Amino acid sequence: MADDTIMSNKNESFYRNRRVLITGGLGFIGSNLAIRLANNGADVLLVDSLEPEYGGNLFNIASVRDRVQVNISDVRDASSMKYLVQGREVIFNLAGQVSHIDSMRDPYTDLEINCRSQLSILEACRHHNPDVKVVFASTRQIYGKPDHLPVSEQHLVRPIDVNGINKAAGEYYHLVYNNVFGVRSCALRLTNVYGPRQLIKHNRQGFIGWFIRLAVEDGTIQIYGNGSQRRDFVYVDDVVEALLLAGATDSCNGEVFNVGGHGPVSLADLAELLVEVAGTGAVRYIDWPEERRAIDVGDFYSDSRKFEQAVGWHGDVDLRTGLDRTVRFYREHLNHYLDGDTVS
């Protein structure tokens, strides 16, 4: 508990009155980060396109709406980004297209958002705000199918879908701009993040949010195969803490770090635990759809020790507690997260 207090106090003092920009700031992770920063007294600017399918939702920041600035803009608009990065001391670069299925159906849009736009943001920083610190939200998807478990940062980067390729390119742009141009940057490779304010309208941005919706609505969670695939899951508050620590710590510059959960859990066990916590829902096992099987990585769980050693971070919220908090949130606010309510 003492270490947790030290981390929280460090973040609170570092970010108080600090000028922060969050791209994708109305989305899942961005809005949770914005709330934490606003409560810490930071000067917060949120940039989001509010594209209906990507999870941006003004309700996400309802509790701090009067304490943050919001700019409805697309990171693909280079002119806007040149202006918006100016005067900011820390940028949390969270905007992205995260659906692996969508990246295979529409690879050019994924390329624009996850690759070209990242280069535009970094160019804007290089020319208009070279002293800024940038933290990039990367993904475990860039590793592809693991050769060994748990997966450390030394594992080969070998994506198996378009999204993974473009996210890897975006990550490497940040490292190059750190190493060559001095735009201080680092990347956090996030595993399966879950929690309040996650997009649950459809299942193309990760299965856990969809599972949670089905449980809350007393629906049936469908598990492919026998559900033996193992994953690690990290609660969004723990990810927010990781982002804040990375933004406040210059020893992270030029580095990539895994940020994962407490250890492997099978999808079958996850679904059964979720139904138990919710007290509603059911689980059914079905055959694999071919389009999903083709890009499934099998077992995957990450080794986060490098980041733990660098900044003292560790995930505090266990899976049962995180699922309970998340289910309670959606039971109270579900109408704001269904079709037609993304900008309510």
**What single letter denotes the amino acid at residue 56?**
G
Structure tokens belonging to residue 143: 């590793």
For residue 7, what pLDDT band results from cuts at 50, 70 and 90?
low
Structure tokens belonging to residue 294: 């083709």
pLDDT value of position 231: 95
Structure tokens belonging to residue 107: 């690879």
Q: Could you give the dihedral angle defined by the CA atoms of residues 186, 239, 91 and 27, in that order, rounded to the nearest 10 degrees?
A: 130
288 versus 70: the higher-pLDDT residue is 70
Structure tokens belonging to residue 193: 């993040």
Burial of 220 (0-12, 13-18, 19+ CB in 10 A): middle
CATH numeric code, 2-194+234-260+302-317: 3.40.50.720
Query: Of 203-212, 247-256, 292-301, where does mean pLDDT reach its minimum?
Result: 292-301
Q: What angle do CA 234, 27, 248 make, to 5 degrees?
A: 65
Domain boundaries, the chain: 2-194+234-260+302-317
DSSP 155: S
What is the Cα–Cα distance from 189 to 130, expressed in whole angstroms?
Answer: 24
For residue 8, what pLDDT band results from cuts at 50, 70 and 90?
low
**What single letter denotes the amino acid at residue 42?**
A
Q: What is the pLDDT of residues 18-48, one digit of tens each?
A: 999 999 999 999 999 999 999 999 999 999 9
For residue 118, what pLDDT band results from cuts at 50, 70 and 90?
very high
> Other CB atoms closer than 10 Å to residue 147's CB: what's the count?
10
